[in-house]
Amino acid sequence: MIKNFIHRSITSPKKFIIGKGLLNNPSKYIKDFGSNCFIICDVVFLDTIKQHTEVSLNKENIKSHIEQFNYQCTKEEVDRLCALTKKFKNDIVVGIGGGKTLDSAKAVAYYERLPVILMPTIASTDAPCTSLSVLYKGNGEFDKYLYLPQNPDSILVDTTVLINAPPRFFSAGVGDALATYFEARACYQTTGNNLVNMKPSRIGLGVSKMCYEIISDNIDKAMDAVKNKAITPAFEQMIEATIYLSGIGAESGGLAAAHAVCNGMSIIPDLHRAQHGEKVAFGLLTQLVLENAAHEEIENVFRIMKIANLPLTVEDLGLKNWDVEQWHKVASIANDKNDTMVNLPQKVDDQDIYNAMLTANEMGKRYKNKPIDSFKFVQFNK
């Protein structure tokens, strides 16, 4: 277990590159780190990587071994991948895929003491930028957090790949990123612990605020772009917000009630198909109720969620019946003293959290019926 530090922290990847066609041609950003890549990738990208990525690397005299990720980031899978990097004498790890693939690549690089470059293929997760890997057990249950001493060396974000990913992942990424500022704000007020168990920095808070402002300013235009699979400046800014600012904002700024509620919701079987970011967005609504946030703030969060096609109620998240006992249990898990609910400035008990979730759901029903044109547009940067 990592010790608590009284120091404030700013931690981030060394480089974050955004552009079209990076998956097919990443050599320029890889050659400085090594000449023998171990590529861990999701099955859907195997052919593309063999046909394009590998060819591009070969042209620059970079060798590669391509290994398909085995669906779950377990200790066994990480051990298997580590053994292969030794066998092929690789000097750099490249992860291409979703959050679990990237978490495995980070873990392998850590154990093998190699540089790591990540290429996310969906925008739904903070995994690319953080110095943390989430390990699961073989049966899919959470195992442990692996705290890494360093963030990834480079993140290469191919907008062509992301714009062609299912839109639901983009929306889920917006949900996760939308909570970043509100959670960092709470954590900063309490001087709680951030994701690396240090105290939040002003930059962590500032980055989180920028994340929120970019989302607020660009969500309408970005969703139009996503609908048409068109890469636009608004879409690119949203990628900065959902992948980079959200990740380092959470890591340096800290989390609070939104993620704690999301963690509590994991016990409800009806919600197992909901995306992490979709549940975090509901957790954010709960946090805003607990904070008794300003009306304009709540309304703008709902505006963004509505435009992003995020679920506004637990029914929309997949819940069939509100089981009072079960939701009391969600509240008690969310209020675990080791979770991030403690970063809220006001002290809350289980009943307060239950009441806030119930109220957040009621608000969701109300805002669902409010026509989108009746929301006030909030523009932070002109």
Q: Which chain residues interact with Zn ion by CB under 5 A? A: 176
CA dist., res. 53 & res. 26, Å (int): 7
State the angle between helix axes of 276-290 and 167-190 in degrees (0 to 180), rounded to the nearest 10. Answer: 40
To Zn ion, the closest distance from the beta carbon of 326 in angstroms equals: 22
* CB nearer to Zn ion: pick between 54 and 176: 176
Other Cβ atoms within 10 Å of 123 Cβ, number: 29
Between strands 36-41 and 92-97, the pairing is parallel
Q: Please report how close the Cβ of residue 125 comes to Zn ion at its closest, in angstroms.
A: 7
Nearer to Zn ion (CB atom), residue 176 or residue 299 = 176
Closer CB to Zn ion, 176 or 251, in the complex: 176
Minimum CB–partner distance for residue 232 and Zn ion (Å): 25
Minimum distance from CB of 113 to Zn ion (Å)?
Answer: 28
> Between residues 42 and 176, which has the closer beta carbon with respect to Zn ion?
176
Q: How many of the other CB atoms lie within 10 Å of CB of 32?
A: 12
Which residue has the closest beta carbon to Zn ion? Answer: 176
Closest CB 126 distance from Zn ion, rounded Å: 5
d(CA 98, CA 192): 30
Of the pair 84, 134, the CB lying nearest Zn ion is at 134
Whether the CB-CB separation of 41 and 49 falls below 8 Å is answered with yes
Compare residues 115 and 152 and give the one whose CB is closer to Zn ion.
152
DSSP codes joined into one string, 182-223: HHHHHHHHHT---TTSSEEPHHHHHHHHHHHHHHHHHHHHHH
Q: How far apart are CA 258 and CA 287, in angstroms?
A: 6
CB of 111 to Zn ion, least distance (A): 24
